Structure 1
Amino acid sequence: MHRPPSAATEVADEVAAVRPALAARFTAERPGARAAVLSRLWRALAFEPLPWVEDRERSGDGLVLRLRDGRRLTGPAADPYRTDAYVPVVRLDEVAYDDPERLLTDLAVPHSASFAAELGHSAASLALSRAAQPRAAREGTTGNHPDEWPDSGWGWEQRVVDGHPYHPGCRARPGFSVAEQLAYGPEHGPVVELGLVPVPAARCLVSGAWPRELRDGARVLVPVHPWQAAHVLKQSCEAGPAAHPLMSLRTLAVPGSVHVKTALSARLTSSVRDISVASIAASADLSSFGARLAARLDGLLHVTRTLGAATAHSPDLAAVLREAPEVFASPGEHVVPVAALATTGLPRSPAWLAAFARLALTVGLRALELGVALEAHGQNLLVVLSATGDPLRLVYRDLADIRVSPARLARHGIAAQGLPTRVLTDEPLALRRKLFGSLVGGALAATAGSGPVLREALAAAVSELPRTEDLVALCEEPLPVKALTVMRTSPGSTGDLWTELPNPLRWR
């Protein structure tokens, strides 16, 4: 059967054309990148409620999935918290697959064709990203002494090479050519010149204080990512500030300790990254609310302020200005995104990991008791480290997707005026899903790197925490996490879909 060219082949051809010096390293990284994406896909196959999987059973050191059409998938026993590329091959009946795109293509299950292409793109883009950085640096076996750490916040963001630790589309950047990935991907170390689109103030919604340097008389100058200008707005822009891209790609650091979140109408992992008009309208109230929350947590949590936000009443043309997390560092301290912690080498110490888990759970559970479920994954959550690497306190950025319980807030005398309706819920399951799925199933699990290591860190931490109903649920119930692959293969569904993982405190 003739197969069309794979995403990896297309990317390889582009690399050879636009960056030939990178071609050999890209080729060398391709097998490992395929295994990394296949490992993420195997986790989804093993644990998500996929409608075409009939049954799952252990078989020795392996796992067998029986499909509704009678076929069988076999692979290694799946650790839902493991982050290395531990699945080199999966078998569909008797055929071995080391390529996630080919596997999903040949499975030919409903709504899988486009996702299969995304997985091919994810593996190829991951190989490209890895080719840009030495293996030792991204695995934290070099450059992990505090004297060698980055001296800027964006320098830490550039260390995050592999993207989402559990999403099979961890590095999928559909719509981005190789040249654009090299020009805009933080792991490639570029400087990006933002554009500015002038919009009459009367046609803009502005929240907070929009700075004078982004005004031109009666016009508001809205910062625009150059990819957005070329592919979505399709217009030229005035020259804006030079910026360093952060790991979200659409948020960039500009001079003056400010981060600019731009609209980027491309699908990255699960979502299209535009900025809704409603989120602009709510940004100032959410920012004030974040400050009130942080004030209740005894200095253990800082929440970055939104300085200003503007939209031309379009999700495709909007921007948010936030203070940079490093403003919360005292001299000698470092503010590190949790997603970059692996590059410090610190998580290899069980004592350090237990201390970090204790800090993260203390903050997360206290905020939840007050009525706020943070979406504390490795991108939103940062840790302030001492000069010697001790975890001191946390920084949280981007309040857009938190969940808030009005009833819990009222019990603690915290005002919730102005918060958007979509973030409000008193349902314990919804609140716990938001926090536990992101903090435990995301930030802590990825930092630990495996179920056994996560179990030990959590066990050391929870023994010192107040035994609230939320803590009991965390210790005794299955862990809720987003069903990332189900979400990408369920075109008729909106919002988050969930699955349950074995409780990490009982994982063996």
Structure 2
Amino acid sequence: MLYDSKTRICKQLLESLLFERILPFTEMIVGMKNRFTFHIKDSEVIVEGKRGPFDRIRLDITTLRSSKSSGVNDSFEHLLTQLPIPDDFQEELRRTHDFDDLSQRHRLRIHRAGLDYEELEQTIIEGHPYHPCYKSRIGFSRADHEAYGPEAGNRFQLHWIALPSTLVQGNGILPIPLILGEPLLHMFLVKLEELKQTDYQILPVHPWQWLRIKQEVAQVGGVDLGEGGVFVQATQSIRTVFCPGQPELPHIKLPLDLKQTSAVRTFSVPNVVAAPAVSDWLKKQASELPMTLLSEFASCVGSNGPLAGRVGCVFRENVLTYVHNGEQVIPLTALAQIEVDGRHFLGPWLERYGHERWLRRFFVVYLEPVIRLVTEKGIGLEAHAQNTLLVLRDGWPERIILRDFHDSVEFVTELLDDPSDVPDFKRLHPDFDAPLNTYYEMSHPLALRELLYDTLFVYHLTELAYQLELTENLNEATFFDWMHQTIEGLPIDRDRLERIGWYEQRVTAEALLAPRFGLTNQIDVKNSLVQQGEEDDHAMD
């Protein structure tokens, strides 16, 4: 079946609106399928589908029928104009269609499993498998999309500015000489000296962002130093860039006034200031667990005034420094992908090792360290697809590498192995003097289960299970049976799992779209890790 972005957007939009109870609907079981019926303005809409693990709704969008339209392409416009969705959300959906269509020229005609890490950062172009605004990029023009999106693999230089030190805050030693080169850095320093600007901080700026902050930089007495340094390329996250072919150089995360998947991608000032301290703490806590953490070893951010959170940088260790000869590293975003030949991305390795053997090994490698960090140390990480990398040897899972911690760590003091080791966040930034659940510290152990379930299962491994059912005839229930059995066999403290509510029959999941509609950001779903008996078929079809 040929790829069609309108079809995909309609599918993900309706699935999310129904799953998060944003759109009232009725559900009937008709034969082997579920029939969903809902009303929009003066139209009745019927579509068939099914319920998957964690109550996820999967629609057969080809069955979509409305009393006012026929066919999916016609339904795209009909749904966008008739559904009760805000105008700005409509714009995000339309831009997603535009940019997704534009991206298809870069879709590879080969199976991507043989590509290396840097190639995969460019060629995994699909975007978020659940959020319907997976490529909205509000603020980008079509030219910006080609210049700064990962799909085209374009390389560019960063812009550089100098700001008064009173306007920035950070920690760690910024590796600016490595990115700029000593000769250019010397030129910048000479220029600042000639301007009698000595108490200044030199910072990189994404060239797209520079055009949006140049006036504010001048207003606060900043100095425009121009473009220069090594050439960089966007990763899948767009705002993090890397230096192709130079594994010794770090990745650089930069703020952008860009809205992607309904969130503006600027920086949270206190989180960026705390980044190196968070990394040091996490690496110590996870030192005996079978995973690698990529340190965010230096950071700096505009801390006040019109540039607060809109300029800054986080320098992160390059994943390739932890990859050995004969190893391959893949972002877990690859796990939700079906290749142009109709096979799953993992197809060659599943065929080689067998579905059950490979998946059970993957569950051990991926889930054990993340769950044990919670049960043994009281710390939760957002180990979702974009933050997690899988290291393979001959296609066999060896270990995981995790990244991007400064705004995605949670802990509960009563569960900590050593509370005295926690960084003094209030000393790092005054905003950390805030109520629990605002930044890193949570008020209840259940928060850690919610973090794990959302990022590991509800919005992540459910996608892998669904795609394997479509491409490999592996029943989703079988997938989660194997996962449940694997987790039960891991060396994990069961009392701690009970304490975070791991075995509850129903769990709370985060609603990703509902807050846009003025609704609660939580939904109640069945816990498919403990309700395996309710599934009908536990075998390969």
| Whole-Å separation in 2 of the counterparts to 1:103 and 1:56 | 22
* Matching of residue 318 in structure 1 with residue 312 in structure 2: yes
Equivalent of residue 81 in structure 2, options 83, 102, 106: 106
Aligned equivalent of 2:332 = 338
| Whole-Å separation in 2 of the counterparts to 1:130 and 1:350 | 33
Contact preservation (8 Å) 2:163, 2:201? yes
Contact preservation (8 Å) 2:269, 2:309? yes
Superposed displacement of residue 436, structure 1:
1.1
Matches within 5 A, 1:99-498: 99=73, 101-109=76-84, 111-134=85-108, 136-137=109-110, 142-144=111-113, 148-150=114-116, 153-211=117-175, 213=177, 216-217=188-189, 218=198, 219-233=200-214, 238-240=226-228, 241-254=230-243, 255=246, 256-297=248-289, 300-313=290-303, 314-341=308-335, 342=337, 343-345=345-347, 346=349, 349-369=355-375, 370-386=377-393, 388-399=394-405, 400-409=407-416, 411=417, 415-419=421-425, 420=432, 422-450=439-467, 451-452=476-477, 454-465=479-490, 466=492, 468=494, 471=497, 473-474=501-502, 476-478=504-506, 480-490=508-518, 497-498=521-522
Aligned equivalent of 1:49 = 21
**Considering only aligned residues, what root-mean-square deviation do their CA atoms show, in Å?**
2.9
| Whole-Å separation in 1 of the counterparts to 2:478 and 2:207 | 42
Gaps of 5+ in 2: 190-197, 218-223, 338-344, 426-431, 468-475, 537-541
Go from structure 1 to structure 2 and tell me whether the alpha carbon gap of 1:482 and 1:362 turns closer, same or farther (over 3 Å shift).
same
Superposed displacement of residue 237, structure 1:
5.3
Superposed displacement of residue 347, structure 1:
5.8
Alignment TM-score, normalising by the size of structure 1:
0.82
Give the secondary structure class of the aligned counterpart of 1:186: coil
| Whole-Å separation in 1 of the counterparts to 2:17 and 2:170 | 44
Give the secondary structure class of the aligned counterpart of 2:236: coil
Give the secondary structure class of the aligned counterpart of 1:264: coil
Superposed displacement of residue 471, structure 1:
4.9
Query: What amino acid is the match of 2:5?
Result: A
Go from structure 1 to structure 2 and tell me whether the alpha carbon gap of 1:33 and 1:438 turns closer, same or farther (over 3 Å shift).
same
Aligned equivalent of 1:40 = 12
| Whole-Å separation in 2 of the counterparts to 1:46 and 1:80 | 13
Task: Tell me the matched-pair count.
Answer: 460
Contact preservation (8 Å) 1:438, 1:481? no
Runs of 4 or more, structure 1, over 4 Å off, are 67-71, 79-86, 214-217, 234-237, 411-414, 469-476
Give the secondary structure class of the aligned counterpart of 1:393: strand
Gaps of 5+ in 1: 1-27
| Whole-Å separation in 1 of the counterparts to 2:97 and 2:58 | 14
Go from structure 1 to structure 2 and tell me whether the alpha carbon gap of 1:112 and 1:202 turns closer, same or farther (over 3 Å shift).
closer
Taking only the aligned residue pairs, the percentage that are identical comes to 23
Superposed displacement of residue 166, structure 1:
0.7
Contact preservation (8 Å) 2:506, 2:524? yes
Give the secondary structure class of the aligned counterpart of 2:383: coil
Superposed displacement of residue 55, structure 1:
4.0
Rg larger in structure: 2
| Whole-Å separation in 2 of the counterparts to 1:54 and 1:442 | 22
Go from structure 1 to structure 2 and tell me whether the alpha carbon gap of 1:101 and 1:485 turns closer, same or farther (over 3 Å shift).
farther
| Whole-Å separation in 2 of the counterparts to 1:161 and 1:79 | 27
Contact preservation (8 Å) 2:49, 2:58? no
Post-superposition Cα deviations, 1:163-212, rounded to whole Å, max 9, x if no partner, equal 11111111111221111111111122111221111223343212111235
Aligned equivalent of 1:23 = none
Contact preservation (8 Å) 2:378, 2:412? yes
Superposed displacement of residue 375, structure 1:
0.7
Query: What amino acid is the match of 1:334?
Result: Q
Query: What amino acid is the match of 1:206?
Result: G
Go from structure 1 to structure 2 and tell me whether the alpha carbon gap of 1:470 and 1:104 turns closer, same or farther (over 3 Å shift).
farther
Contact preservation (8 Å) 1:274, 1:315? yes
Contact preservation (8 Å) 2:69, 2:78? no
